[in-house]
Chains A and B, each alone.
Chain A
Amino acid sequence: MAGYLLRRFFQAVLILLGVSFITFVLLYVLPADPVRQIAGRAATAQTVENIREQLGLDQPFLVQYGRYLAGLIQGDMGRSYLQKTEVAALIASRLPATLLLMAGGIVCELLIGLTFGVIAAIYRGRPLDQGLMVTSFIAVSAPQFVVGLLLLYVFAVQLGWFPIGGYGTFAHLVLPAVTLGIMGSGWYSRMMRSSMIEVLRQDYIRTARAKGLTRARILSRHALPNAILPIIAMIGIDIGIFMGGLVVVESVFGWPGIGQLAWQAIQRVDIPIIMGVTMVSATAIVLGNLLADVITPFIDPRIKMR
């Protein structure tokens, strides 16, 4: 157990190291020169050279990467080229909004997905099941920005139930969270349906039925808890899928999270921020996967750790 955890932890660190290296290489070979961006068009060659030296960008690649890693280990992600603020502080200031949005997205996708999945499994093969499965296909095929704009148009512009964008109250959270959750709800309803169907044909369900238990009791006490187990582990993996969607959803709704931060940084070639957000996202993905693997044997003892 301890050995397994240690090995997984070590793997996670190696993966993050690899991610940092590849991102650094990509940004290093960037044709756009960040120094030119900072210095402005009117800057003399001398000023440009000074800035380059100041930022350490005149150093060889490996020295730059080494310096970055050394900082990263101490929690220092460098300073933004344009805002002069520390990247770690910038990300920390945006993180609560993003975490809130992600939590909202997870609640939405589970609520919609699990409910639809259970209903579909109960009515397996009937029109309701088929209708729900078509809906789930539409959910996974809908581009998030279209869903977001559609929700905005209907519920904010036409009906006026929710604000058009921004951040602050619960009402601000609803539309972005639903937008983020819809794609996942499609996957969850399909997985929940298969899982539920699998459970419903087990012997212990037949036994429960033979004992004369009511249908509602069989479903809620015997089938549902067992069917949900394999689904829980997926939440960890979801985090990775969410990280991409955040850029889109935050930009549609003007949500002040790290997705927006990254998007603005990419447009302005603010490399330390891009680097920082990539590392934070990759850490979240790796942790999510790790959590999924570690949690599964605990909630479902039938699955053994390898």
Chain B
Amino acid sequence: MPAPDTTLASPDMHMAASTDDDPHAHMMEIPGGPQLKIRGFFDFNYGSGPAANPLQFPLGAPAHNTFQAGEFDLFVSSKISDHLDFVGEMVFGWDQTNYLGVDIERYQLTYKQSEYLQVSGGRYHTAIGYYNTAYHHGTWFGTAEGRPFMYYYEDSGGLLPVHNVGITATGLVPGTGSWHLHWVAEGGNGRSSSNAGQPVQNFLADRNHKSYNLAFYVRPEWAHGWQMGGSYYRDKLSPEGMPRVGQTITSAYAVLVGSKWEFLNEAVLLTNKEDGVAAPFRTPLMYTQLARSFGKYKPYFRYQYVNSPGNDPINVYTDRYQGPSVGVRWDFSDFAAFKLQYNRLDQRMATSNSINAQMGFTF
């Protein structure tokens, strides 16, 4: 007979008196209600060259050597009950206008029934590929200086719906043994049909149709550190004055994240197809990243490729983005890292070079 759920609430919680004949003797109370935990992340940057800015769109904006404040990210979490958790991420960031903007990038109330089922409601990072749900907004976590271009945020010109508002569920598939097969199912508002306003539909959807996403991944016991998976995302956008556009996003990835080696490989195919038009617009997006730790130093290499058709009806960015980045990460403190990165970017009409320096830390 399975033991009663005994999930802990907090290390300093009060333990009820224990008696042999009390079946609930192990249960614990949280004095004063749920506790809020908070953690911060911040990055401060210097960029030189037209492709230096990791989160600025359009990429063709006038280039100036510049110091740059990154994302001031406050991550909060709270255990509400044995089965109920809340997490949130508030990000303060500046854009090309130099004005400060505030976004609640993530808020999820999660019911954890068991390792086989947990359901969240709120604003989440869509389970497309690996990077998007593995790193969120904490720049300090990422080995390289910024996200791969294919995972740029929507309001920075990103092509994928990396945020969504709705329901997401995940769990381990029973009986999958040493493969540890996990499933993910999501349904949400999807991205806005218009590129003019806020791309994430936080409050009011512009259509009745809901996006859905199905994903799976394995973490085999016999390949410690490896994770492999894929996803299928589907939505139907309704741009004003245009035919409806069916959006399909398929992804596949294989990543190794170990204490020494890191090897990330992801590929996504984004397809936008207008109703009544035979030919769909296909955008391949991919990157590979290899890194190895040598004590506090971690040199890395990333190559990425995105090719968005010039006449795509939905994509904000319609060009080719292709090239290598080489850098080194120096963890000069347990909770702070300095990164120096060189980028070479090939677009259809131009080639550019840039250098980034970044100080990222958690507090």
Our verdict on whether A and B bind, yes or no, reads no
- A residues in contact (CB < 8 Å) with B: none
- B residues in contact (CB < 8 Å) with A: none
